[in-house]
Amino acid sequence: MSEGVMHPLTPGSKLEGDWFDARIPENVEAGEGSVIDSSFCFKHFFATGAVGLRVGRHVTIWRTSLAADTNGIIEIGDHCYVSNASLVCSSRITIGSYVMIAGGVTIADSDFHPLGPAARVADSVALSPIGDRRRRPAIEARPVVIEDDVWIGYNATVLKGVRIGAGAIVAPGSVVIRDVASGMLVSGNPARPVDEAQS
């Protein structure tokens, strides 16, 4: 596929000239004018619900990993641009309209492994080639909500349970571990309002 070619985001379709030999999953809903560059975006998409990805109108998804667990749901509103990002969803990630997500951004609604040392060891054993994945310890997931008109800068990370209010800006490289108020600019690790981050 030549550089820059985009395809309609059509459930069940095989993209002409796509370098990755796969189809768009059937459990995708996409509005008019929404496009994607490659089915490779769905390499780690394991959602089994009736809808695993819901995308509004005129959305561009470019070089982005849409990694959803079996019960995961990713929702993206209208007129969004998601560029070379990673959406990692165990439960739910909801993105509003007119949201810009830059390259290298990671949005995750879970840690995907237990936090306690003993549980981490048990999880490693369960995931090993000789393990039993059904014996994995419980893992916490909390939905992520990104409201309308948000811009998330290069290499920022948004972690589980976070709500980013309408019109907020997340500066490049920030790690967001708590809610961001509407219209606020946050920066740093952990991300704080810019006036606090500079003090």
**pLDDT tens, residue by residue, 141-171:** 999 999 999 999 999 999 999 999 999 999 9
- Domain span at residue 141 reads 7-197
pLDDT tens digits, one per residue of 16-53: 989 999 999 999 999 999 999 999 999 999 999 999 99
At 78, list the tokens.
């209208």
Give the model's pLDDT for residue 87: 98
The one-character DSSP state at 130 is: T
Smallest CA-to-CA distance from 5 within 35, 40, 41, 34 is with 35
Per-residue model confidence (pLDDT) at position 126: 87
In a domain, 2, yes or no: no
| Mean predicted confidence (pLDDT) in 186-196 | 90
Q: How many domains does the chain have?
A: 1
Q: Which of 7, 58, 79, 113 is catalytic?
A: 113
Q: What is the CATH number of the domain that holds 140?
A: 2.160.10.10
Q: Give pLDDT, residue 120.
A: 85
Active-site residue, 58 included: no
pLDDT given for residue 156 in this prediction? 98
Residue 151 lies in a domain: yes
Strands 169-170 and 60-62, by their bridges, are unpaired
pTM of the model: 0.90
